[in-house]
Homo-oligomer: A and B are copies of this chain.
């Protein structure tokens, strides 16, 4: 009989949904996997026009094997939500693996879970990890002990396959990769600031600044509150 593997995705308003749907589609196929999508209040949350329902309440989940925190434009607000951050700390304490995708690592940092640890993050926010005592790492997937962090959004799929290999072995993870036909072939080589055309990088930087999502002051406030 396969043991249960409890996987919790901790959601909050204005998450980038692909940050967790990508990893979910991989990890839900692990042996014994029982996945939970949960938020502070449970119920439903709508991200970019997609409504996710039947969410559980984080407080109702006693413990988990894998805690995964996705990122998104709501990251800064989530850091300021004491109930959310309290649940992150509580679930992380008993988890075998503490994980994040994209700016979810800033939440792990704000929860005090990354002190002295290397961690990945979306390229535009990566440096802010240092405010929480973490060591920003440009890797696509970064492991430091039992903490696995992925880079921006789509890195969640690479992260999930890496974690799947850790939990169920390389062969099983390769089977997941094959069943999901994950042989990526992007039409452009513009996925990182180092490879994107300069005018594209400038436009995306300006767009992110305009959303206020890079607000360093919010991160600094969260770091002071640690």
Q: Which of B50, B54, B157 contacts A37 (CB 8 A)?
A: B50
The answer to the question of A165 belonging to the interface, with a C-beta cut-off of 8 Å to chain B, is yes
The answer to the question of A145 belonging to the interface, with a C-beta cut-off of 8 Å to chain B, is no
Measured between alpha carbons, how far is A122 from B153 in the docked complex, in Å?
23
Are A154 and B151 also in contact (CB < 8 A) when A18-B21, A165-B187, A174-B197 are? no
Number of copies: 2
Q: What's the nearest-Cβ distance from chain B to residue A126, in Å?
A: 10
Are A200 and B187 also in contact (CB < 8 A) when A35-B49, A180-B18, A181-B123 are? no
| Number of A residues, CB within 8 Å of B | 66
In the complex, chain A residues 64-106 whose Cβ is within 8 Å of any chain B Cβ: 102
Are A181 and B155 in contact, with the CB atoms below 8 A? Answer: yes
Which of A109-117, A127-135, A188-196, A217-225 lies at the interface with chain B?
A188-196
Q: Which residue of B lies closest to A25 (CB)?
A: B18
Contacts of A17 in B (CB 8 A): 21, 24-25
Are A179 and B204 in contact, with the CB atoms below 8 A? Answer: yes
Are B192 and A183 in contact, with the CB atoms below 8 A? Answer: yes
Q: Which residue of B lies closest to A24 (CB)?
A: B50
List residues of A whose CB falls within 8 A of some B CB: 16-18, 21-22, 24-25, 28, 35, 37, 44, 46, 48-54, 102, 122-123, 140-141, 151-155, 157-158, 161-162, 165, 170-171, 173-175, 177-193, 195-197, 199-201, 203-204, 207-208
